[in-house]
Amino acid sequence: MKKRLHRLVGACVATGIVGIAAVSSSMAIAADQPKSAGTPPPGNPSVSAPAATQRYAQPGDADAASLAKRIEEGKKIAWDRGKGNCLACHALPGGELPGNIGPALPYKGITMKQRFPDRAKLRAQIYNPMANNPNTAMPPFGLNRILTEDELEKVTDYIWSL
């Protein structure tokens, strides 16, 4: 499978189809990874215990209004061309002039909660996407301190709400 993947990635890069190469390689690499029971991959410091166990607020919870505010703040960070800059690579609902290097969020009707049932795994992907795919074009927003821990949590809340 890895040889086939390398040929696919090479063909995509040679023809300029970088987005497909990144998505294909991340899916294949993820498929080759051993599954763990809720723990981050070895060497991935991206998920601290509090973030990994944080419960996402449900409608009717006392902190639902607080969550709505955090989601809105996360959206502002994600759309900020000088901070999160998610629109540079991803199409987001309502976003103008999105990039196409990364997949649309959400992708083909699959919500982010369906794609990442465990919020901590989405956070880990934003924190350090290279832990799951060393060839990704996505910058490690947490590892490189592009986003603060608070900003990372807010962006995760926003993306997970899509």
Number of H helices, E strands in the chain: 7, 0
pLDDT in tens for each of the 162 residues of the chain?
444 444 433 433 333 444 333 433 344 444 444 444 444 444 444 444 344 444 555 545 557 888 999 999 999 999 998 888 999 999 999 988 899 999 999 888 899 999 999 999 999 999 999 999 999 999 999 999 999 999 999 999 999 999
- Report if residue 138 sits inside a domain: yes
Per-residue pLDDT, 114: 94
Question: 86 with 136, same domain?
Answer: yes
- Looking up tokens 């490690």 gives 140
Per-residue pLDDT, 162: 92
∠ CA(63), CA(69), CA(72), 5° rounding?
A: 145
- Of 65, 52, 16, the C-alpha closest to 127 is 52
- Report if residue 18 sits inside a domain: yes
Question: 21 with 64, same domain?
Answer: no
Question: 25 with 99, same domain?
Answer: no
- The CATH number of residue 145's host domain is 1.10.760.10
* 131/140 Cα distance (integer angstroms): 9
The SS3 of residue 9 is helix
Per-residue pLDDT, 56: 53
Per-residue pLDDT, 62: 54
Other Cβ atoms within 10 Å of 75 Cβ, number: 23
Question: 147 with 112, same domain?
Answer: yes
Per-residue pLDDT, 35: 40
- Report if residue 94 sits inside a domain: yes
Question: 140 with 69, same domain?
Answer: yes
- Report if residue 141 sits inside a domain: yes
Question: 25 with 54, same domain?
Answer: no
Q: What is the pTM for the complete model shown?
A: 0.62
Question: 102 with 141, same domain?
Answer: yes
- Report if residue 97 sits inside a domain: yes
For residue 113, what is the DSSP state? H
Token pair in block for residue 89: 């690579």
Half-sphere exposure of 21 (CA within 13 A, CB side): 18
Per-residue pLDDT, 84: 87
- Report if residue 39 sits inside a domain: no
- Report if residue 37 sits inside a domain: no
Question: 87 with 139, same domain?
Answer: yes
Angstrom distances, CA of residue 25 to CA of 29, 31, 104, 119: 6, 10, 16, 22
Question: 24 with 65, same domain?
Answer: no
Which residues form the domain of 110? Answer: 49-161
Report the domain count for the chain.
Answer: 2
